[in-house]
Structure 1
């Protein structure tokens, strides 16, 4: 089911419009926001628009929750806090999420985005998501 939910997420018009890609290896999911000129918010630097970076972080959080455990439907954000740490330059952005806690209804997720060097993040997300874990007796 996780493949179906990941496909549903990636096929959503907003997500596909941003061009988000996932690389899933083992239990890790890395998201990539490929650079495009229309994502630039400040042409003087140039830097990516904060809204595009924030949306990308939320998409990676959602994808990581789908991969972390079997779910019946896409997670829904309850609250999200994003820290913009430095300008995201005109280059690809990568992100990984860590599911800090996943209960029966709510999951706590942290996401870190970087360019070039993972040790120098450009933005972080901390959020709570409403989840619907798959029941043991529900069909696959």
Structure 2
């Protein structure tokens, strides 16, 4: 499966950690490009990673149903703790996949998946292929 991420993913150096048939996990290394205050990730970089994780999860789900194009409607991001100077992972979960609208949740974590640094909820319009 090929995940088409937005060009912003290249700036953040995001890579896809694909597992056999499972929704993808994205990895963003810590670098000067994602630095906020010294030693911490910038909130925009975290939000961008969450958005890309949601897109990857939705593309994965749509591919299983024949494909489609998506357009983001809105996003809500909750920051739970500061992202430190280490690699950050994120994954999305499609909570509703309708014929025209999808709801996706994404979480970002560093050391332990069950201790997220941020979470997002996104809604998308879908145009089926």
Task: Calculate the TM-score normalised by the size of structure 2.
Answer: 0.90
Residue among 94, 97, 109 paired with 1:99: 94
Matched, 1:68 2:61: yes
Match of 2:37 in 1: 42
Q: CA deviation at 1:121?
A: 0.4
Take 1:19 and 1:131, find their aligned partners in 2: how far apart are those partners? 27
Match of 2:76 in 1: 81
Take 2:122 and 2:68, find their aligned partners in 1: how far apart are those partners? 20
- SS of residue matched to 2:25: strand
- Structure 1: tracts of 5 or more residues without a match: 135-140
Match of 1:17 in 2: 11
**How many aligned positions are there?**
125
Query: Greater CA radius of gyration, 1 or 2?
Result: 1
What whole-Å deviation, never above 9, does each CA across 1:78-103 have from its counterpart, x for those lacking one?
Answer: 01000000000011111111100000
- SS of residue matched to 1:131: strand
- SS of residue matched to 1:101: strand
Take 2:16 and 2:31, find their aligned partners in 1: how far apart are those partners? 17
Seen in structure 2, the aligned counterparts of structure 1 residues 103 and 82 have a Cα distance that, compared at 3 Å, is same
Task: Calculate the TM-score normalised by the size of structure 1.
Answer: 0.83
Q: CA deviation at 1:13?
A: 2.9
- Alignment RMSD, CA only? 1.3
Take 2:8 and 2:91, find their aligned partners in 1: how far apart are those partners? 20
